[in-house]
Amino acid sequence: MMLTRIVNRLERRKREKFEAWMRARSQSSKTAGADDVRWLLPIVKELVRSSGIEDDADLRHSAQELLLTQLPKEAWMLAPGLEKRAEPVRSTWTYQNEVMKWDIAETDLVLDVGSGGYPFQRANHLADKFPEETTHRVEPMVLDGRTFFEVDIERLPFEDGAYDFVFCSHVMEHLDNPGQAMRELSRVGKRGYLEVPTRLSDVMFNFTRLQDHHRWHSIRLGNTLCLIEWNESERRELGNEFFEALQSAYTNPFQDFFERNRDLFFTSFHWERQIDFLVIGKNGEILDSSSGIGK
């Protein structure tokens, strides 16, 4: 009875394929293989989108149990919980503004460079090169009454040491000349914060497929921020499974992994007085550095 209720919620073509597969499975003792898992999991996504399933605890748990009986044990962790999250996974902006602790005094003058659609809450002044629509930003620009400057990060129009703290998040990976940008940030700020996606982040979330989007990925080595250029052979379609899992309204193990290990996905770099950096080209050459090598 429960199986009939579940199967009837599927669209006809998926339902026919599911029923045929179940008949074949009942006549075979083989373990479900990769191809089985590849098409079976999207069917479960259709189930959780079906009307009423998230509100029917018995149906939800039965659907999950049905799925698990058709998967090898090593694939059980891939099965979604079929339970809606109380709230979405924290975005970068939410995490920075609601979770991270900042050693910034009330009297400090703070600049956010590359403020975009999610400006740093503590910033007094906002700055961005593209107040209009751009391929580097999908969300609309936020202008909320704070002083805004339209700037080129490589030639900031501020005096030396004009700001007590400079915040710059998810900007470096887009630039042609990130070394010059970091020199400018440390020139106008006494200290600050940089955040840049790691190689793992761009691979798992499939940003490598986007031409003219992320030019660099990052790693921190000691007190040095290293930016490494993507080469063309690395730019390929990798699929959106991890991105969709992270954004899902339903609980899943990858969301837990991400929230426990944000440092693997984003390099958080606090600096004072100067930014020690190394910019490495796609062929392994040093293109730029804070010490002057390669410039």
pLDDT (0 to 100) of residue 1: 45
> Could you give the dihedral angle defined by the CA atoms of residues 72, 76, 79 and 85, in that order, rounded to the nearest 10 degrees?
170
**Coil, strand or helix: which one is 10?**
coil
Q: Is the pLDDT of residue 11 over 70?
A: no
Confirm if 206 and 237 have CB atoms less than 8 A apart.
yes
**Neighbour tally for 225: CB within 10 Å:** 23
Reported as a pLDDT band with limits 50, 70 and 90, residue 131 is confident
Q: Are residues 116 and 173 in the same domain?
A: yes
Q: What does the pLDDT read at residue 157? A: 97
Query: In terms of domains, do 124 and 227 share one?
Result: yes
Q: Where are the alpha helices (DSSP H) in 125-280?
A: 178-188, 199-204, 241-247, 253-260
Domain identity same for 159 and 238: yes
Q: Is residue 151 part of a domain?
A: yes
Per-residue confidence (pLDDT) for residue 162, from 0 to 100 = 98
SS3 280: strand
Claim to verify: residue 115 and residue 47 sit in the same structural domain: no
In terms of Cβ atoms closer than 10 Å to its own Cβ (0-12, 13-18, 19+), residue 166 is buried
17 vs 40: CA distance, rounded Å: 10
pLDDT band at 255 (very low <50, low <70, confident <90, very high): very high
Structure-model confidence comparison of residues 14 and 166, the more confident one = 166
Domain boundary among 15, 45, 77: 77
244: tokens are: 């969709």
Amino acid at 169: S
Share of the chain above pLDDT 70, in %: 69
Are residues 152 and 231 both part of a single domain? yes
Final residue of a structural domain among 77, 108, 133: 77
Q: Based on the domain organization, do 155 and 226 belong to the same domain?
A: yes
Within-domain flag for 295: no
Contact present, 199 and 219 (Cβ < 8 Å): yes
Query: What Å distances lie between residue 42 and 39, 60, 79, 84, CA to CA?
Result: 6, 16, 10, 17
Flag whether 140 is in a domain: yes
Q: Do residues 57 and 102 share a domain? A: no
The predicted model scores a pTM of 0.75
Q: Checking DSSP bridges between strand 165-169 and strand 110-113, what pairing results, if any?
A: parallel
Domain residues for 19? 2-77
Highest mean pLDDT among 21-25, 82-86, 131-135: 82-86
Beta-strand (E) ranges in 115-264? 125-128, 147-150, 165-169, 191-197, 216-221, 224-229
> CA–CA distance from 44 to each of 7, 204, 241 (Å)?
10, 22, 14
| Mean pLDDT, the chain, whole residue set | 83
Based on the domain organization, do 108 and 50 belong to the same domain? no
* Together in a domain, 57 and 101: no
Query: Are 32 and 142 contained in the same domain?
Result: no
3 Cβ neighbours under 8 A, 6+ residues apart = 66
Q: Which residue has the tokens 């005096």?
A: 159
Total domains in the chain come to 2
Cα 242 to chain centroid, rounded: 10
Query: Do residues 121 and 188 both lie within one domain?
Result: yes
Helix axis angle, 34-49 relative to 12-26, nearest 10°? 140
Measured N-to-C along each axis, helices 57-69 and 34-49 cross at an angle, to the nearest 10 degrees, of 170
Mean pLDDT computed over 134-159: 87
Note whether residue 40 is domain-resident. Answer: yes
